[in-house]
């Protein structure tokens, strides 16, 4: 058992003083990202399972909050994984970091949280379980060890061979290389990865418990498909013991019984069946929370808990027909962009604090560096939340954006922007001039310059937190909100003009990841170019019809 030395951090009153300060002692830092978990489905924000209210959805996150602080009004930058995580790691909003579609990787001029910790002498480890966290997007920068917990190449190859054998026996064409490349990514929707992520994280802690470390852990198991019964027998029944219908959560996103897969995308699923799927979603959040608890127990067992900062945050939420659709990557309404955020530091004076100030996912990196008394993240747009913890009332606003294909939009682009302050939400959708945009995947700036905005959608957040009743244009609050939004937008544009970028050609994804190349090579295919994010739903529907997946 190690001896834990308690120490002071002079820079922040969030820590308890002690008689024998050790200013040279460095704090460990653990950053946990839970994919697709919306704020109002976590216990500390009031969630109780509809059909099992006695069951705690997130007991470990809730316990962590009691020892730390809860950010009650936290926002991500978008409603899908890649840009949100780039914001998390670089401390920049999406337009600032530039990775708004999956045709781009991290700009090498934009430093990451892991690089900052590495420069300060930390051991750094990152372990992820979703395809958009791949090293091909530049997330591995600064990590001594950066590994995937997804299905291994060997197991995936076996699956492809078995799949093609079934297709051949049925007289159907085998999967082409584009489908194989997409299936490698989409396997994460059916994979069970939290145990593997914990295994990788625990190995890293074992190897580095005597030295200061930065550990990043990404859990993906709450992402659709929502099939807790496949994860852990009995988990689905625990959260919905009385259900007698025939929805099991498998492939529900592309199930025509849920909604039309083509325009007009009409909803078909009943309230009871939908609530059953939501119960499955809660159950999977519980599964991820369980593994967060195991990770915390590991930190305690290794004697490093008393010297460790831990932050838990989500990248985005999910919609369950609150605004006439499901899933994410579709809109910028609150259910998709308002996220849980919990921070615990050793020896906090004000444990259990709830912070009402707006916080942003790109404030996480500056906050962790500040609280660990480390160097700042050069170029970060976000700011440390240490002052909020110390009780300052800080007015912030938060921008969100989508520049993406997919989500029942065939090959069209989904372009939207949103803004929030403490009182208002303003959402705006765009159209684009396809005739003047020859390459909609890469011509980001010209395309945005040619957009034509529709009218604003304005909400009074104080009285309508779920953004269900837009204000009419004649309402004085509408004009007030648009005025504040316009001022914030202009100020943000001034900031963006100062951001240094590499040429866009230096940031394009021009090849597949090493794992993707290896799989296609082993199957005898020439290397395929990445397909981009257009036609996401069409490809996903094709994949869902494969025999092994359909069964």
**Tens-digit pLDDT profile for residues 226-256:** 999 999 999 999 999 999 999 999 889 889 9
Residue 371 reports pLDDT greater than 60: yes
Residue 28: how many other CB atoms lie within 10 Å? 26
Residue 404: how many other CB atoms lie within 10 Å? 24
The HSE-up count of residue 287 (CA atoms within 13 Å, CB side) is: 30
Three-point CA angle 221, 222, 228, nearest 5° = 80
Task: Report how far residue 188's alpha carbon sits from residue 184's, in angstroms, rounded to the nearest whole number.
Answer: 8
Distances (CA, A) of 397 to 77, 99, 411, 420: 12, 21, 32, 6
* Mean of pLDDT values over 370-384: 93
- Give the domain range for residue 350: 28-150+191-510
* Mean of pLDDT values over 92-117: 96
Residue 487 reports pLDDT greater than 90: yes
Mean pLDDT for all residues in the chain: 87
Residue 469 reports pLDDT greater than 70: yes
**Tens-digit pLDDT profile for residues 340-355:** 999 999 988 889 999 9
Two tokens at 314?
């989500």
Distances (CA, A) of 274 to 245, 315, 429: 11, 23, 28
Residue 1 reports pLDDT greater than 80: no
Residue 392: how many other CB atoms lie within 10 Å? 11
Two tokens at 541?
């529907």
Q: Is residue 161 part of a domain?
A: no
Residue with tokens 């995580």, as numbered in its chain: 85
Q: Which of 31-35, 80-84, 152-156, 307-311 has the lowest mean pLDDT?
A: 152-156
Q: Is residue 534 part of a domain?
A: no
Q: Which of 5-9, 73-77, 364-368, 484-488 has the lowest mean pLDDT?
A: 5-9
* Mean of pLDDT values over 62-82: 97
CB-CB contact of 114 with 164 (8 Å): no
Tell me which of 68 and 442 has the higher pLDDT. 68
In sequence order, the β-bridge partners of residue 399 are 419
CB-CB contact of 44 with 58 (8 Å): yes
Indicate whether this model's pTM tops 0.85.
Answer: yes
Would you call 260 helix, strand, or coil by DSSP? Answer: coil
Dihedrals phi, psi of 44, to nearest 5 degrees: -65, -15
Task: Report how far residue 352's alpha carbon sits from residue 343's, in angstroms, rounded to the nearest whole number.
Answer: 10
Question: pLDDT tier at 190 (50, 70, 90 boundaries)?
Answer: confident
Q: Is residue 519 part of a domain?
A: no
Tell me which of 444 and 357 has the higher pLDDT. 357
Report how many domains make up the chain. Answer: 1
Q: Is residue 157 part of a domain?
A: no
Q: Is residue 210 part of a domain?
A: yes
Residue with tokens 């990451």, as numbered in its chain: 112
Q: What is the CATH number of the domain that holds 144?
A: 3.40.720.10
Task: Report how far residue 428's alpha carbon sits from residue 184's, in angstroms, rounded to the nearest whole number.
Answer: 34
Residue with tokens 């978990």, as numbered in its chain: 37
Q: Is residue 167 part of a domain?
A: no
């Amino acid at each position: 058992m190690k001896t834990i030395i308690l120490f002071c951090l002079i820079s922040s009153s969030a820590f308890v003083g002690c008689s024998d300060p050790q200013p040279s002692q460095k704090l460990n830092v653990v950053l946990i990202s839970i994919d697709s978990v919306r704020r109002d489905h976590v216990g500390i924000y009031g969630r109780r399972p509809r059909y099992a209210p006695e069951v705690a959805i997130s007991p470990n996150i809730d316990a962590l909050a009691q020892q730390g602080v809860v950010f009650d009004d936290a926002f991500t930058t978008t409603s899908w994984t890649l840009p949100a995580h780039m914001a998390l790691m670089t401390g920049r909003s999406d337009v600032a970091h530039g990775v708004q579609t999956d045709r781009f990787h991290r700009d090498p001029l934009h430093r990451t949280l892991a690089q900052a910790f590495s420069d300060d002498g930390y051991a750094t480890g990152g372990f992820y379980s979703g395809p958009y966290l791949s090293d091909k997007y530049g997330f591995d920068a600064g990590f001594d060890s950066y590994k995937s917990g997804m299905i291994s190449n060997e197991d995936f190859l076996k699956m492809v061979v078995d799949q093609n054998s079934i297709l051949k026996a049925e007289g159907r064409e085998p999967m082409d290389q584009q489908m194989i490349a997409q299936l490698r990514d989409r396997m994460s929707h059916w994979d069970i990865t939290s145990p593997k992520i914990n295994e990788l994280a625990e190995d890293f802690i074992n190897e580095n418990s005597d030295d200061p470390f930065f550990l990043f852990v990404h859990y993906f198991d709450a992402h659709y498909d929502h099939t807790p019964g496949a994860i852990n027998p009995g988990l689905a029944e625990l959260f919905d013991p009385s259900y007698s219908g025939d929805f099991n959560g498998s492939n529900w996103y592309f199930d025509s019984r849920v909604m039309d897969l083509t325009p007009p995308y009409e909803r078909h699923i009943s309230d009871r069946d939908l609530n059953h799927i939501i119960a499955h979603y809660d159950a999977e959040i519980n599964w991820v929370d369980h593994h967060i608890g195991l990770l915390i127990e590991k930190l305690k067992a290794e004697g490093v808990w008393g010297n460790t900062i831990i932050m838990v945050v989500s990248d985005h939420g999910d919609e369950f027909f609150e605004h006439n659709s499901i899933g994410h990557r579709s809109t910028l309404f609150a259910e998709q962009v308002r996220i849980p955020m919990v921070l615990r530091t050793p020896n906090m004076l004000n444990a259990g604090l709830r912070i009402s100030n707006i916080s942003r996912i790109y404030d996480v990196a500056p906050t962790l560096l500040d609280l660990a008394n480390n160097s700042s993240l050069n170029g970060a747009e976000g700011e440390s939340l240490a002052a909020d913890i110390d009780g300052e009332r800080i007015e912030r606003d938060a921008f969100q954006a989508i520049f993406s294909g997919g989500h029942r939009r065939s090959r069209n682009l989904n372009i939207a922007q949103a803004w929030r302050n403490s009182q208002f939400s303003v959402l705006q959708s765009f159209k684009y001039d396809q005739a003047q945009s020859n390459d909609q995947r890469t011509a980001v700036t010209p395309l945005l310059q040619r957009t034509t905005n529709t009218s604003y959608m304005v909400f009074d957040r104080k009285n309508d937190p779920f953004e269900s009743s837009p204000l009419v244009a004649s309402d004085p609050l509408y004009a007030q909100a648009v005025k504040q939004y316009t001022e914030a937008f202009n100020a943000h544009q001034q900031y963006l003009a100062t951001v240094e970028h590499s040429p866009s050609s230096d940031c394009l994804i021009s090849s597949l990841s090493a794992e993707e190349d290896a799989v296609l090579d082993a199957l005898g295919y020439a290397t395929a170019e990445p397909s981009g994010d257009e036609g996401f739903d069409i490809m996903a529907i094709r994949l869902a019809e494969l025999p092994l997946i359909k069964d």
